[in-house]
Amino acid sequence: MLVVFPAGGDRPEFLLIPAETWRAARPPFADRDYAGRKSDPEYGICVRRSRWREDLAGWSLREQMKEITGPLVQDPADSGGAGEGLHSGPFRPRQER
């Protein structure tokens, strides 16, 4: 799920949150299952206004892309050399035999 938070904020943050995060929800994620009741289950994010960036930092789009691709996506803030670590992430070329 791609979330832009806060909506209408001066510096919105793009968050990439895998749906499986709610399977075993821990704060700041909420999973309210109303088993046996009329209401459908609710899934949400509960953050404090003063700390939302810190609470959700691990799900920033930049951090999630690093997790998915490893060093294939280089952070512009990094000053590493061209091609450094290009195939050391989870997407490696097939080994020749």
74 confidence band (pLDDT: 50, 70, 90) = low
Helix (H) or strand (E) holding 32: strand 29-32
> Within 13 Å of residue 31, how many CA atoms lie on the same side as its CB?
9
Burial string for 2-21 (b: 16+ CB within 10 Å, else e) reads: ebebeeeeeeebebbbeeee
Question: Across all residues in the chain, what is the average pLDDT?
Answer: 75
Of the chain, the percentage scoring pLDDT greater than 90 comes to 0
pLDDT at 38: 86
In what helix (H) or strand (E) does residue 45 lie, and over which residues does it extend?
Answer: strand 42-45
Taking the C-alpha atoms of residue 82 and residue 28, their distance in angstroms, rounded to an integer, is 37
